[in-house]
Structures are given as C-alpha cells and as structure tokens.
Structure 1
C-alpha cells in the first residue's frame, strides 16, 4: 500500500509537533505579514498539510524527489493539472518561508517540474470517457501501439497536441520518469510521467517506432505511417476516429 493510498483512508494522520509548529508559523506569516484572506490561507494550509502527512518526516529534510513523488502519486489518482499546479505553488511558498526564516532546507524547486493546465485531452473528455477511449485502442498494429503510447502520454502529462508533435526520443528521461516539453515561446519544462504511460512508450519504441521509421534517420518520437512527423490535424483525426470507434459521442 502506497503512502498516497493510506492518505485516502478515513484514519487521520497527525503531524509531528515540529511540523505542526512550522505550519502554524507559516500560516501566521501569511496572515500577518502577507495579509492574505482566510480562504487563501486555508488553501495553503490544506496543500502543505497534505504533503506533510504524505512525507511524515520533518519538513526541512524533504528533497525535490519527495515532492515530485507526491505530485506524481496525486496525478495517478487523477487530480487535475490545475490542482497539481496549485499544490506545487503552495509548497514552494512554504519552503521559501522556511528558507527566509533561516531554516536549512534540502529541496531545490528549480528541479521540480512546473505544471501546465492549458486545455488538453483530459479537459475535453471526462476521466471515464478517456479510460474508455484508451481501452478501445487496438495495439495489434504498429499504428495502434503508437496511438496508445501517444494518448497515454498526453493524458498522463496534460500535453497539448502542439507539444506532442515536437517530442524527441531524447526528451524521455526513463530513470527520472519525466518528459522534457518545449512549450510556447520555447519555454522548457519537465513533466512527471505515470508508469502506465512509460510502459506504453517503451512498448511503442521497442516494437513499433522502428518499423514506422523505416530507413529514415529521425529523432522525432511519434511518426506517421510514412516515417514523418505527425501534424496537428493528423493527431486530432486520430483522436476523433478512436473516440468514435469507442462509442464516445463527442465532437473533439
């Protein structure tokens, strides 16, 4: 049973006295020095408490890996990207407070991926519809393996079609379980990838991409049947066709 699974149980996890004191000082700082509203402070308290209940150790000993694992676990529980972005922001503000209060911290937020929440496939389709769409993909062909890997990645990471098109095989960091994404204005961010999506990517790369690439030398991750880069329209046509085949009556 994972830490996050335990957190979903009814049993209340009490913070240790040290973390409880840090959290109270943080909220007092937000109220008195920052002048934030009660509702805003409550949101910060909730986000930080959720992480500390997950981590269980003294707050200042946490590393970026601990926070990334926390966010990935939430992502796998289908938390929205907007919610994940808020939690990352809350934790950064909390750890900035600890640092300013002369408490030595180990976490480096520059190594924690930022989280985008532009309109993506998960926003267009409900979670149930997306699961049905993914389950309906026939993976007995090279194109089917590609489609499964591509949609699993888009769903897991909240990627836009324009971001998926430009992905290279070198943008997948297998050991770290993150993908490097180039967004608008050539801004780069690192996004955690769920294990299910990573398995589909490995399956596609090992068994399908080589066949689609044919004799061409290219680092582009997702290729069409001619071994070329997919287009925006091409991806939306693929998604629309799969949705219709899965019985989803929705204009994508």
Structure 2
C-alpha cells in the first residue's frame, strides 16, 4: 500500500473506532499529508512501514523553521497518533516518534471579553435586518451556554428542553451532554424560533436544525466567525476574537463569580479537568479575594 491507502484506513479508524468529528479527522490527516509532501519534495521514496526516526527528525527540523513551537508540538502529536495506529493494526512493531521530544510550549492563557464588552458586542447587532434576531440568539447561546462553534451549528430544535432548563449538546466524538440554559438565553432563542425561523423556506434535511441561513440550511462554522468578526469591527473592538472567545469568557465569568471548577468542566464537556484549567484566566485580584474569603488564616 502507498501513503494514500494507509491514510484512508487511518481516517476510517478515527471515525469508526474513535468516533472523532470530521474536522478533527481532517486535522490529524493534514499532519500526515504534510509529511508526505516533505518526502516528495526531497525525493525520498519510503513507505509508512519503512520510514525511520532519522527521516522524521529531518522533517520536524524543516517544520520548525516554518511554525511556532505550539504548532510543531501539534504536528508531532498527530504523527504519533498515525504511527500508533499502524502499530495497533500490526503494520509496524514500533513508533518512530517515540523518542522524539515535543517542544515545550507552556500554557497559553485564552483571550476573554469582559461582561461589558460582550454586552456591547451583542448590542451592535442590527435587529432590523433579516438575520438580526438569529444572530442575537446564537451569540447569546454561545456565551450563555459556553458552546463550541461546531456544537452551536449542529444544535437541533429537538435538543431544546426549556421546561427542564437544559439543552442537549453533541460534542467531540459525538459525545452528548446536557448543558443548563438560563431564562435570559431561552428568551432570545424563542423569539428567533417563533418570529424569524418559522418564516424561512427550510430545505429538506434541515427541518430540525435550530440556526439556519437565509436559504434554509445549516449555518457553517465560517459564517459564525464572520458574524463575530463583523460585530467586533462595528464596535471597534481592539481584540482578535472568535466564537471560542465567548466560550473562554463563559468559563472565566462563572469561575470569577464563585462557580465550582468541576461544574464548569461538565458544562464545557471536557474529559479532563486539566483542560478546563487552561480555559480559565484568573486575575490576581480574584485569587486574592478567594484566599481572603476561604482560607482559615485570612
């Protein structure tokens, strides 16, 4: 088999055995395809079964000239996963990246918005436009429930359990969780659903999708990014923000107001609480308040 055949089998494994999303599979595959391009450019004819640590070291050295340590670490992790799969299927007896060190990247604290900045951002939505109520509802849902952008666009009408105060969210690996949704967020979803969404000519297959574009089909991730970028431009916000910024802000504001980290972990859908800690940007003044409030020798 050539590299393409192995990559296709790897993709099937990631989808069927590990239940990963399409976007995650694409990211993992891109790392291997980048290695293939390096081999082609350097006229190295070697299969995934034959390639050794020396060649991989050359590839990683070439990559290190083009990307930052964080991206380099991600590429190494992706390749380790690919060769780990080859071992799992008994194509190889070793992982040639086992002894290759991942560059130290440290923890990157996420950018967040203040409550006032979020209020100003949402207030900038033009509610007289055809998409105004939809955009307000989806922004309030992103921030009010701490969703990933992929979770937002996949949200269904049948996922809304407002009487119980929850929405059902399908996260990474198709894992489902129930996330609390407050009355404030519910109000704007209901307004959009009952006044704007019901006027659309909905395409077949999207009857249950909550947030729709003007053509009656599912919004794309790129469209959500564009909506937020345009709003930031309107209010002249001098920060680089994305849908994930609202998720970071959701977690941070909860913690600053006394929420338990474990509860935040469950709402965000993180398997490890260590991941949740990365999302939480704590000001030193807040840490001082925690110490003074809860320590017996305050």
TM-score, structure 2 normalization: 0.42
Larger radius of gyration: 2
